[in-house]
Amino acid sequence: MVLFLSGLEDRVVETVRNSLTIGITLKQIAQAIDENLEAVDGCVQALRDRGKVVRMGRGLWVLKEYEQIDNDPEFISPATYNEKFADLYGVQLSEYSGSSITFSANHLMEKKVQRWTPYVQGFSADFVDNMLQRYDVKPGQRVLDPFAGSGTVLVSAKMKGIDAIGVDLMPLMSFMARVKTEWDLDVKAVRREFEGLDWNQEPKLSSPAFLKRWKSHFNAGVLRNLLLLKQSILAVKQPKITDLFRLAFASILVDCSNLNRSPCLGYDRTKAVSDDTPLILFRAKVQDMIEDLVYVREKAQGHVEVITGDSRLVRYEPESIDIAITSPPYVNGLDYVINYKIEMAWLDMVHSYDELGQLKDEMVACDNVSRSIIRGFSERLDSYEDVWVEEIAERIAHRITSKEGYRRKDMHNVVRKYFDDVYRVFRNVYEGLKTGARFIIVIGDSLIAGVYIPADLILAQMAKAIGFKIENVEIARSRRSGQRRSFKLRESVVILSK
């Protein structure tokens, strides 16, 4: 028995060792050595008690000696890249010292119009205000955000009388951005329509049943009230007011559900939602909207154009834009389509998983993009080439092929495609900007399969290849890696000029 156990231990240790700093789950270990999960679990716990293995983020185990990722002889650290970057471009990384970059829900409560949507991604309105001030952007000038999301840049610009153009591929995002920048509503009519909403009928609509597990998203009483609410909103005859209410409806959906978003959508077993939550939250949201519409009426108002489209393909009039401010998706970051599927389904923007899949495949690549898209991409001869991206992709490929059970064997090509997608967007931005204009990018770095990806420096290098001048890379904050709790990632502001 003792002999058998130590044999198992050896095999477990060997398997964990092979996963290097990437780490391996209990299930993957059990599969790799063809043992039952319980025995592997017991063995790993015993190894942990003796300090041989440690658990990293996401249920991954590594050998104690690989707890610090820098102990991996193959690891190339952020400091090494920073030095290389300084040598190549004469730019030392500095610290960002403006108002907080992080979108904060509390602070948002005070932010007129920005507070209409609770989506935490990219940057704060304060950050955008700070940049518009730093670069002295004036009323009548034009700002671009090619990944406009829920419209933070567009709303900030409009409030200062600055014109803006925003692009986002997700219909939900561009819808939110559009409604948040349409302020010529008759507030009295909004109030009247709101008070006239008939919440006492029987719901005739049905929920978006194509969503898997739709029955568990909401409690039965909540679901009924949501259907009722949606039905009464759709009965409003003035399209702009209907859209305002649809936006309010979308922005309370997750709060009404048994899920939360932190930032990915997941079930929250501790959440207790009462049946009247939809009506309470909707009422409060519309009241905020009315208050803000009254407030912004007095404000200078820039002209805003919102495009629902793929920024890789959207071209701008050459030399027409005074500044671009954006936050692209991060490498291996959020799957926006899956994360916002509930809102898109309830607003009738998508009707099937096929439609969701098509949308996902057009987005800047994330690790849920279809394998066929990645295969097609790998055969292309005109993709963006960068020495750092190539080195990183090869190291990722090497690590995932030498390890059992990595979720995607083509992850290296997902990373290549990510940079190619962003390259295509940056080229269009370059063309649209006026000579001398700034391009401000907020971006986070990543860790994939234990390989560090300095996305901020790679994007700066890419911009340089397009023709931009690299002015600065400012580190705004550090954040914890989901893959490895002990490793600190960063979020940076890359400042370029044409």
Residue ranges binding ligand SAM (CB under 6 A): 119, 121-123, 147, 149-150, 152, 167-170, 173, 310-312, 327-329, 336, 362-364
| Min separation Cβ 386 and ligand SAM, Å | 19
248/366 with CB nearer ligand SAM: 366
d(CA 481, CA 302): 39
16/363 with CB nearer ligand SAM: 363
| Min separation Cβ 113 and ligand SAM, Å | 12
| Min separation Cβ 426 and ligand SAM, Å | 12
| Min separation Cβ 181 and ligand SAM, Å | 12
116/123 with CB nearer ligand SAM: 123
149/432 with CB nearer ligand SAM: 149
C-beta pairs of 65-70 under 8 Å, 24+ apart in sequence: 66/20, 66/21, 67/486, 68/486, 69/21, 69/447, 69/450, 69/452, 69/484, 69/486, 69/487
Residue 325's nearest CA partner among 126, 495, 112 is 495
| Min separation Cβ 458 and ligand SAM, Å | 17
| Min separation Cβ 448 and ligand SAM, Å | 18
d(CA 217, CA 214): 5
| Min separation Cβ 248 and ligand SAM, Å | 17
131/227 with CB nearer ligand SAM: 131
Residue 40's nearest CA partner among 76, 65, 71, 15 is 15
181/327 with CB nearer ligand SAM: 327
| Min separation Cβ 54 and ligand SAM, Å | 32
d(CA 18, CA 287): 58
C-beta pairs of 346-355 under 8 Å, 24+ apart in sequence: 346/207, 346/208, 346/226, 346/230, 346/249, 346/250, 346/253, 347/172, 347/175, 347/246, 347/249, 347/250, 348/208, 349/171, 349/172, 349/175, 350/171, 351/208, 351/210, 352/210, 353/210
Question: Residue 95: in which H helix or E strand, if any?
Answer: strand 94-95
| Min separation Cβ 5 and ligand SAM, Å | 49
| Min separation Cβ 72 and ligand SAM, Å | 30
| Min separation Cβ 336 and ligand SAM, Å | 4
93/167 with CB nearer ligand SAM: 167
| Min separation Cβ 308 and ligand SAM, Å | 9
Residue nearest to ligand SAM (CB): 149
Residue 90's nearest CA partner among 472, 495, 492 is 472
Residue 196 in tokens:
């006239």
**In Å, how far are 342, 391, 406, 407 from 402, measured between CA atoms?**
38, 17, 10, 13
- The helix, strand and coil proportions of the chain, stated in percent and rounded to the nearest 5, come to 50, 15, 35
Residue at 190: amino acid letter: V
180/403 with CB nearer ligand SAM: 180
Q: How does 400-429 read in b/e, with b if 16+ C-beta sit within 10 Å?
A: beebeebebebbbbbbbbbbbbbbebbbbb
d(CA 249, CA 257): 12
C-beta pairs of 461-465 under 8 Å, 24+ apart in sequence: 461/85, 461/88, 461/89, 461/386, 461/388, 462/384, 462/386, 462/419, 462/422, 462/423, 462/426, 463/426, 463/430, 463/439, 463/494, 463/496, 464/89, 465/386
124/225 with CB nearer ligand SAM: 124
81/119 with CB nearer ligand SAM: 119
21/124 with CB nearer ligand SAM: 124
19/114 with CB nearer ligand SAM: 114
| Min separation Cβ 362 and ligand SAM, Å | 6
148/448 with CB nearer ligand SAM: 148
What sections of 185-276 are H helices per DSSP? 187-196, 214-217, 220-234, 239-256
Q: What is the DSSP letter of 218?
A: S
